[in-house]
Amino acid sequence: MSERGRLIVLSGPSGVGKGTVLARYLAGRERIKVSVSATTRAPRAGETDGVHYYYLTREQFEEKISSGGMLEWAQYNNQYYGTPRAPVEEALREGVDVVLEIEVQGGLQVKRAFPDAAMIFILPPSFQVLRQRLVGRGTEDGQSVEKRLRAAVEELRRAQEYDFLLVNDRIEDTVRELEAAVEAAHTITRRQQSLLTEVLQDAQTDSVTD
Ligand code: 5GP
Protein backbone atom coordinates (compact mmCIF):
# COMPACT_ATOMS: atom_id res chain seq x y z
CA MET A 1 0.00 0.00 0.00
CA SER A 2 1.40 3.45 -0.86
CA GLU A 3 2.03 5.88 1.96
CA ARG A 4 -0.81 8.24 2.82
CA GLY A 5 -0.48 11.92 1.97
CA ARG A 6 0.37 14.43 4.67
CA LEU A 7 -2.11 16.97 5.91
CA ILE A 8 -0.76 20.49 6.43
CA VAL A 9 -2.84 23.14 8.19
CA LEU A 10 -1.68 26.68 7.52
CA SER A 11 -3.27 29.48 9.54
CA GLY A 12 -2.52 33.07 10.39
CA PRO A 13 -4.40 36.35 10.51
CA SER A 14 -5.81 37.83 7.35
CA GLY A 15 -3.11 40.01 5.72
CA VAL A 16 -0.16 38.11 7.18
CA GLY A 17 0.91 36.87 3.74
CA LYS A 18 -0.10 33.19 3.98
CA GLY A 19 -1.03 33.10 0.30
CA THR A 20 2.37 34.37 -0.86
CA VAL A 21 4.28 32.01 1.43
CA LEU A 22 2.16 29.10 0.25
CA ALA A 23 2.58 29.92 -3.45
CA ARG A 24 6.38 29.90 -2.99
CA TYR A 25 6.23 26.67 -1.01
CA LEU A 26 4.20 24.95 -3.72
CA ALA A 27 6.40 26.07 -6.62
CA GLY A 28 8.10 23.02 -8.13
CA ARG A 29 6.54 20.59 -5.68
CA GLU A 30 4.58 17.59 -6.91
CA ARG A 31 2.01 15.37 -5.26
CA ILE A 32 0.63 18.23 -3.20
CA LYS A 33 -2.65 20.10 -3.53
CA VAL A 34 -4.34 23.00 -1.85
CA SER A 35 -7.87 22.26 -0.77
CA VAL A 36 -10.46 24.58 -2.33
CA SER A 37 -12.73 25.78 0.46
CA ALA A 38 -16.40 26.60 0.32
CA THR A 39 -17.65 29.96 1.58
CA THR A 40 -20.75 32.11 1.73
CA ARG A 41 -18.81 35.34 1.30
CA ALA A 42 -19.05 37.14 -2.03
CA PRO A 43 -16.22 36.65 -4.54
CA ARG A 44 -13.60 39.43 -4.57
CA ALA A 45 -12.52 40.99 -7.86
CA GLY A 46 -10.42 38.46 -9.75
CA GLU A 47 -11.66 35.42 -7.82
CA THR A 48 -13.17 32.47 -9.69
CA ASP A 49 -15.71 29.91 -8.46
CA GLY A 50 -14.09 26.50 -8.07
CA VAL A 51 -10.58 27.97 -8.11
CA HIS A 52 -10.34 30.33 -5.14
CA TYR A 53 -13.46 29.07 -3.38
CA TYR A 54 -16.74 27.33 -4.08
CA TYR A 55 -19.23 30.14 -3.49
CA LEU A 56 -22.34 28.75 -1.80
CA THR A 57 -25.52 30.24 -0.40
CA ARG A 58 -26.10 29.89 3.33
CA GLU A 59 -28.71 27.20 2.63
CA GLN A 60 -26.31 25.20 0.46
CA PHE A 61 -23.58 25.52 3.07
CA GLU A 62 -25.81 24.43 5.94
CA GLU A 63 -26.99 21.46 3.88
CA LYS A 64 -23.33 20.42 3.34
CA ILE A 65 -22.70 20.65 7.10
CA SER A 66 -25.69 18.52 8.02
CA SER A 67 -24.90 15.86 5.43
CA GLY A 68 -21.37 15.49 6.89
CA GLY A 69 -19.78 16.90 3.73
CA MET A 70 -17.48 19.32 5.60
CA LEU A 71 -14.22 18.15 7.14
CA GLU A 72 -14.31 21.29 9.28
CA TRP A 73 -16.13 24.59 9.13
CA ALA A 74 -16.30 27.90 10.96
CA GLN A 75 -17.98 31.27 10.90
CA TYR A 76 -15.60 34.14 10.27
CA ASN A 77 -16.66 37.74 9.70
CA ASN A 78 -20.31 36.53 9.75
CA GLN A 79 -19.69 34.19 6.83
CA TYR A 80 -19.32 30.43 6.66
CA TYR A 81 -16.02 28.90 5.54
CA GLY A 82 -15.38 25.17 5.31
CA THR A 83 -13.32 22.39 3.79
CA PRO A 84 -15.21 19.93 1.56
CA ARG A 85 -14.36 16.51 2.98
CA ALA A 86 -14.31 14.14 -0.03
CA PRO A 87 -11.49 15.67 -2.12
CA VAL A 88 -9.18 15.87 0.91
CA GLU A 89 -9.75 12.27 1.96
CA GLU A 90 -9.32 11.06 -1.60
CA ALA A 91 -6.01 12.91 -2.08
CA LEU A 92 -4.61 11.64 1.23
CA ARG A 93 -5.56 8.08 0.28
CA GLU A 94 -3.74 8.50 -3.03
CA GLY A 95 -0.59 9.65 -1.24
CA VAL A 96 -0.99 13.32 -2.19
CA ASP A 97 -0.19 15.94 0.48
CA VAL A 98 -3.01 18.40 1.16
CA VAL A 99 -2.69 21.96 2.43
CA LEU A 100 -5.62 23.57 4.23
CA GLU A 101 -5.29 27.35 4.39
CA ILE A 102 -7.89 27.98 7.07
CA GLU A 103 -8.60 30.03 10.19
CA VAL A 104 -7.98 28.73 13.71
CA GLN A 105 -11.39 27.45 14.80
CA GLY A 106 -11.42 25.15 11.78
CA GLY A 107 -7.72 24.35 12.18
CA LEU A 108 -8.28 23.10 15.71
CA GLN A 109 -11.16 20.88 14.54
CA VAL A 110 -8.74 19.33 12.04
CA LYS A 111 -6.14 18.81 14.76
CA ARG A 112 -8.66 16.82 16.78
CA ALA A 113 -9.71 14.69 13.81
CA PHE A 114 -6.16 14.26 12.37
CA PRO A 115 -3.70 14.39 15.28
CA ASP A 116 -0.74 13.92 12.92
CA ALA A 117 -1.56 17.00 10.79
CA ALA A 118 1.27 19.56 10.60
CA MET A 119 -0.20 22.57 12.42
CA ILE A 120 1.52 25.76 11.27
CA PHE A 121 0.61 29.32 12.22
CA ILE A 122 2.10 32.38 10.54
CA LEU A 123 2.64 35.49 12.66
CA PRO A 124 3.17 39.05 11.46
CA PRO A 125 6.42 40.74 12.62
CA SER A 126 4.17 43.17 14.56
CA PHE A 127 0.54 44.24 14.81
CA GLN A 128 1.37 47.54 13.05
CA VAL A 129 2.79 45.64 10.08
CA LEU A 130 -0.38 43.55 9.91
CA ARG A 131 -2.53 46.70 9.80
CA GLN A 132 -0.35 48.24 7.10
CA ARG A 133 -0.53 45.08 4.98
CA LEU A 134 -4.31 44.87 5.26
CA VAL A 135 -4.79 48.53 4.36
CA GLY A 136 -2.19 48.30 1.57
CA ARG A 137 -3.92 45.30 0.02
CA GLY A 138 -6.80 47.62 -0.86
CA THR A 139 -9.37 44.84 -1.10
CA GLU A 140 -11.28 45.89 2.03
CA ASP A 141 -13.02 49.12 3.05
CA GLY A 142 -12.07 50.75 6.36
CA GLN A 143 -14.81 49.05 8.33
CA SER A 144 -13.87 45.64 7.01
CA VAL A 145 -10.18 46.24 7.83
CA GLU A 146 -11.14 46.95 11.45
CA LYS A 147 -13.30 43.82 11.55
CA ARG A 148 -10.47 41.71 10.16
CA LEU A 149 -8.04 43.17 12.69
CA ARG A 150 -10.40 42.27 15.52
CA ALA A 151 -10.65 38.76 14.10
CA ALA A 152 -6.83 38.72 13.86
CA VAL A 153 -6.56 39.33 17.60
CA GLU A 154 -8.90 36.39 18.23
CA GLU A 155 -6.75 34.20 15.97
CA LEU A 156 -3.50 35.28 17.63
CA ARG A 157 -4.95 34.40 21.04
CA ARG A 158 -5.38 30.78 19.90
CA ALA A 159 -2.08 30.49 18.02
CA GLN A 160 -0.49 28.76 21.03
CA GLU A 161 -2.47 25.66 20.22
CA TYR A 162 -0.51 25.23 16.96
CA ASP A 163 2.74 23.23 16.83
CA PHE A 164 4.80 25.72 14.81
CA LEU A 165 4.68 29.53 14.92
CA LEU A 166 6.56 31.15 12.02
CA VAL A 167 7.15 34.88 11.66
CA ASN A 168 6.60 36.20 8.15
CA ASP A 169 9.27 38.87 8.01
CA ARG A 170 11.52 37.89 5.08
CA ILE A 171 9.54 35.69 2.72
CA GLU A 172 12.46 33.41 1.75
CA ASP A 173 13.10 32.67 5.42
CA THR A 174 9.44 31.95 6.09
CA VAL A 175 9.25 29.50 3.17
CA ARG A 176 12.37 27.69 4.41
CA GLU A 177 10.91 27.51 7.91
CA LEU A 178 7.65 26.18 6.51
CA GLU A 179 9.54 23.39 4.71
CA ALA A 180 11.38 22.52 7.92
CA ALA A 181 8.19 22.57 9.98
CA VAL A 182 6.33 20.21 7.61
CA GLU A 183 9.25 17.77 7.58
CA ALA A 184 9.67 17.97 11.36
CA ALA A 185 5.97 17.43 12.04
CA HIS A 186 5.85 14.31 9.94
CA THR A 187 9.25 12.89 10.85
CA ILE A 188 8.36 13.07 14.51
CA THR A 189 4.99 11.37 13.95
CA ARG A 190 6.50 8.66 11.71
CA ARG A 191 9.21 7.92 14.27
CA GLN A 192 6.64 7.62 17.01
CA GLN A 193 4.55 5.28 14.91
CA SER A 194 7.44 2.94 14.06
CA LEU A 195 8.66 3.01 17.65
CA LEU A 196 5.17 2.18 18.84
CA THR A 197 5.00 -0.81 16.48
CA GLU A 198 8.42 -1.97 17.68
CA VAL A 199 7.51 -1.65 21.35
CA LEU A 200 4.31 -3.60 20.80
CA GLN A 201 6.19 -6.34 18.92
CA ASP A 202 8.71 -6.54 21.78
CA ALA A 203 5.85 -6.80 24.22
CA GLN A 204 4.46 -9.73 22.25
CA THR A 205 7.83 -11.52 22.17
CA ASP A 206 8.06 -10.85 25.86
CA SER A 207 4.70 -12.61 26.08
CA VAL A 208 3.24 -9.88 28.27
CA THR A 209 0.24 -9.75 25.95
CA ASP A 210 -1.86 -12.88 25.58
P1 5GP B 1 -10.81 35.40 3.10
O2 5GP B 1 -12.21 35.92 3.20
O3 5GP B 1 -9.79 36.49 3.35
O4 5GP B 1 -10.56 34.65 1.81
O5 5GP B 1 -10.63 34.33 4.27
C6 5GP B 1 -10.90 34.68 5.58
C7 5GP B 1 -10.37 33.61 6.52
O8 5GP B 1 -11.05 32.38 6.31
C9 5GP B 1 -8.87 33.32 6.30
O10 5GP B 1 -8.24 33.25 7.58
C11 5GP B 1 -8.88 31.98 5.64
O12 5GP B 1 -7.70 31.25 5.94
C13 5GP B 1 -10.10 31.35 6.28
N14 5GP B 1 -10.62 30.22 5.51
C15 5GP B 1 -10.59 30.02 4.17
N16 5GP B 1 -11.12 28.85 3.86
C17 5GP B 1 -11.47 28.24 5.03
C18 5GP B 1 -12.04 26.96 5.36
O19 5GP B 1 -12.32 26.13 4.53
N20 5GP B 1 -12.26 26.72 6.67
C21 5GP B 1 -11.94 27.60 7.64
N22 5GP B 1 -12.19 27.24 8.90
N23 5GP B 1 -11.40 28.79 7.37
C24 5GP B 1 -11.16 29.12 6.07
Q: Whose CA is nearest to atom 12 of ligand 1?
A: 102
Measure 27 CA to ligand 1 centroid, in angstroms: 22
pLDDT in the model for residue 2: 62
Residues of the chain short of pLDDT 50, as ranges, are 1
Measure 180 CA to ligand 1 centroid, in angstroms: 24
Measure 210 CA to ligand 1 centroid, in angstroms: 49
Fold entry, domain 7-35+97-204? Rossmann fold (3.40.50)
Q: Whose CA is nearest to atom 21 of ligand 1?
A: 102
Give the pTM: 0.88
Atom of ligand 1 nearest to the CA of 77: 6
pLDDT in the model for residue 21: 97
What pLDDT digit, counting tens, does each position of 106-163 carry? 999 999 999 889 999 999 999 999 999 988 887 778 888 898 899 899 999 999 999 9
Atom of ligand 1 nearest to the CA of 38: 19
Q: Whose CA is nearest to atom 24 of ligand 1?
A: 102
Measure 84 CA to ligand 1 centroid, in angstroms: 13
Q: Whose CA is nearest to atom 18 of ligand 1?
A: 82
Measure 176 CA to ligand 1 centroid, in angstroms: 23
Measure 101 CA to ligand 1 centroid, in angstroms: 7
Query: Which H, E and C letters describe the chain, residue by residue?
Result: CCCCCCEEEEECCCCCCHHHHHHHHHCCCCCEEECCEEECCCCCCCCCECCCEEECCHHHHHHHHHCCCEEEEEEECCEEEEEEHHHHHHHHHCCCEEEEECCHHHHHHHHHHCCCCEEEEEECCCHHHHHHHHHHHCCCCHHHHHHHHHHHHHHHHHHHHCCEEEECCCHHHHHHHHHHHHHHHHHHHHHHHHHHHHHHHHHHHCCCCC
